[in-house]
């Protein structure tokens, strides 16, 4: 029977002749993925309603709001928050890799996120309970706490997930159908990271519930839901933390990396000059690192160079949480809150993710068509570009429809007897292709980038390299501001 065969190290001949598959994902990896998904549930649950919360005044049943600061200010505040959230992973990644470790960083970050959700819930209660003027201050405090929490989780979640996967030599195993196959760590990482991304997109559907609650109950109810969910979802991670594979932080690894880069900079940025043999021969110096460490630094720099290409990618993708929401508010939403439409993006990821992982990738692999992380990222840029072009076409189409044409919601003809404003006569569902195009782009782009960065980064600097990805996202958010 298939399950009677005991797995063993594969021979070179078997590695080259047999089909490669992903290995089984351990329960500890699923625990980390569940925690990351819970964080995304809370994050999207509180942040997606922000555009309306900041932009629109209270009292409009069509477009819910509270602070009434306008679209331009709301978009600027949202982009500033994104910028802050993208900058925080770097210092937290340094603390993680050199001092407190990835697990503790994750727990502390989740605690900060939970505190931010709680502040937001309390300060979004009706003015009759708290008085006017509390909402803006509470939002500012919440944004700081949530940005810190989001940054810490973003820095360590993929490295901690990858740490749970086996480092074994390729194994010969037998499937239930009796076929002998080879486990491939790169395919295991690809499968685990794609599965995690699929899970966080399911979690992102929390925005459907919170945007309905903001419209029909109130913002306080919308923020209470993610607060309660996150507080209970953290329990399994803390309870079973001893089962996790936790790499100990190495306090000197960052110092050594800086010294390697300084030596390379003095030699016209040649990393070969930092190798121990080169230093011994040319400077009669014994350095505390190995040639392998220098090679790992070189691979990490290569990953960072790839990440820099994603600045424009993030600039385009960030439109999903601000300007595309505002664009939906200029259209006929059929009674649905304009920021609920944003949930089409994670729905598209949920539908398309398994198709890519289970159909497209195996199809290309069987035909020996290379489609590694770099080609996948290149294709991702194409889909993101198509999505932005389609969104621009929609905006032009909005400008051709009455009652306000090129001035949606702001002309006299849009004013209804109830005091509310009527959007232009075009259905919001025309935005569906935008979200599906962007979904394909982000699956191929973000997951492949995280996979590539994890594989290239030095073992004890994976959080730091992952945080550099957030830094490129910050640059994209800054351009969008």
Burial class of residue 13 in the structure, from the number of CB atoms within 10 Å of its CB (0-12 exposed, 13-18 middle, 19+ buried): exposed
Tell me the whole-structure pTM to 2 decimals: 0.81
Q: Please state, in angstroms and rounded to a whole number, the distance separating the CA atoms of residues 60 and 53.
A: 12
* Residues shown for the chain: 481
pLDDT in the model for residue 40: 93
pLDDT in the model for residue 203: 92
- The CA-to-CA distance between both ends of the chain, in Å, stands at 61
pLDDT in the model for residue 2: 46
pLDDT in tens, 441-474: 999 999 999 999 988 888 778 888 888 888 888 8
Structural tokens at position 7: 């797995």
Q: What is the chain's pLDDT, residue by residue, as a tens digit (481 residues)?
A: 446 788 888 898 988 888 888 899 999 999 999 999 999 999 999 998 888 888 888 777 667 888 888 878 888 888 788 888 888 998 898 888 888 889 999 999 999 999 999 999 998 888 645 556 677 888 999 999 999 999 999 889 999 999 998 777 888 998 888 889 999 888 899 999 999 999 999 998 888 889 888 888 888 999 999 999 999 989 999 999 999 998 887 766 778 888 888 888 888 888 888 888 888 888 888 888 888 888 888 888 888 899 999 999 988 888 887 788 888 888 988 878 777 777 888 899 999 999 998 899 889 888 888 888 999 999 999 999 999 999 999 999 999 998 888 888 888 888 887 777 888 889 989 999 999 999 999 999 999 999 999 888 887 788 888 888 888 888 887 777 6
Q: Average pLDDT over the chain, rounded to whole?
A: 87
Q: Please state, in angstroms and rounded to a whole number, the distance separating the CA atoms of residues 106 and 113.
A: 11
Q: What is the largest CA-CA distance in the chain?
A: 86
Dihedral-angle region of residue 459 (phi above 0 means left; psi in -120 to 50 means alpha; beta otherwise): alpha
Q: Report the candidate in 230, 312, 324 with the shortest Cα–Cα distance to residue 39.
A: 230
pLDDT in the model for residue 131: 56
Mapping DSSP to helix (H, G, I), strand (E, B) and coil, where does residue 174 land? strand
Q: Please state, in angstroms and rounded to a whole number, the distance separating the CA atoms of residues 38 and 32.
A: 10
Radius of gyration over every alpha carbon of the chain, rounded to an integer in angstroms: 25
Structure-derived torsion over alpha carbons of residues 59, 64, 67, 73, reported in degrees to the nearest 10: -130
Outline where DSSP puts E strands in 52-179.
171-174
pLDDT in tens, 235-246: 999 999 999 998
DSSP element (H, E) containing 182: strand 180-183
Structural tokens at position 476: 């994209």
pLDDT in the model for residue 322: 73
Mapping DSSP to helix (H, G, I), strand (E, B) and coil, where does residue 332 land? strand
pLDDT in the model for residue 1: 45
């Amino acid at each position: 029977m298939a399950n009677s065969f005991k797995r063993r190290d594969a021979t070179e001949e078997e590695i080259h002749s047999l089909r490669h598959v992903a290995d089984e994902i351990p329960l500890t990896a699923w625990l980390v993925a569940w925690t990351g998904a819970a964080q995304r549930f809370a994050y999207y649950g509180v942040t997606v309603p922000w555009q309306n919360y900041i932009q629109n005044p209270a009292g409009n049943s069509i477009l819910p709001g509270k602070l009434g600061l306008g679209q331009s200010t709301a978009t600027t505040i949202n982009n500033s928050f994104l910028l802050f959230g993208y900058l925080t992973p770097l210092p937290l990644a340094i603390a993680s890799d050199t001092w407190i470790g990835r697990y503790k960083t994750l727990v502390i970050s989740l605690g900060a996120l939970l505190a931010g959700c709680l502040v937001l819930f309390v300060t979004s209660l009706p003015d009759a309970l708290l008085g006017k003027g509390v909402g803006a201050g509470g939002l500012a405090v919440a944004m700081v706490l949530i940005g810190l929490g989001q940054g810490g989780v973003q820095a360590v979640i993929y490295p901690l997930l990858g740490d749970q996967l086996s480092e074994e030599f390729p194994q010969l195993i037998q499937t239930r159908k009796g076929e002998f196959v080879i486990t491939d760590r790169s395919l295991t990482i690809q499968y685990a990271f794609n599965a995690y991304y699929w899970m966080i997109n399911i979690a992102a559907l929390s925005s459907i519930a919170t945007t309905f609650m903001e419209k029909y109950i109130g913002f306080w109810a919308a923020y209470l839901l993610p607060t309660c969910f996150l507080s209970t979802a953290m329990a399994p991670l803390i309870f079973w933390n001893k089962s996790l594979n936790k790499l100990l932080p190495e306090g000197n690894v960052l110092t050594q990396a800086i010294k390697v880069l300084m030596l390379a900079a003095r030699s016209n940025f040649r990393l070969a000059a930092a190798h121990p043999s080169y230093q011994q021969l040319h400077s009669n110096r014994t350095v505390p690192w190995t040639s392998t460490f220098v090679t790992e630094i070189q691979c990490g720099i290569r990953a960072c160079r790839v990440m820099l290409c994603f600045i424009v990618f993030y600039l385009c993708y960030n439109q999903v949480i601000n300007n595309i929401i505002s664009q939906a508010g200029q259209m006929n939403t059929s009674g649905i809150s304009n920021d609920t439409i944003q949930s089409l993006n994670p729905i598209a990821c949920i539908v398309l993710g398994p198709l890519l992982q289970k159909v497209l990738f195996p199809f290309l692999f069987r035909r020996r068509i290379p489609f590694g992380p770099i080609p996948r990222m290149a294709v991702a840029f194409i889909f993101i570009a198509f999505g932005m072009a389609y969104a621009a076409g929609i905006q032009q189409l909005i400008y051709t429809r009455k009652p306000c044409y090129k001035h949606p919601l702001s002309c006299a003809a849009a004013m209804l007897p109830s005091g509310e404003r009527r959007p232009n006569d075009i259905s919001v569902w025309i935005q569906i292709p935008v979200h599906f195009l962007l979904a394909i782009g982000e699956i191929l782009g973000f997951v492949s980038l995280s996979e590539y960065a994890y594989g290239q980064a030095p073992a004890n600097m994976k959080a730091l390299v992952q945080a550099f990805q957030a830094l490129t996202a910050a640059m994209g958010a800054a351009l969008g501001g």
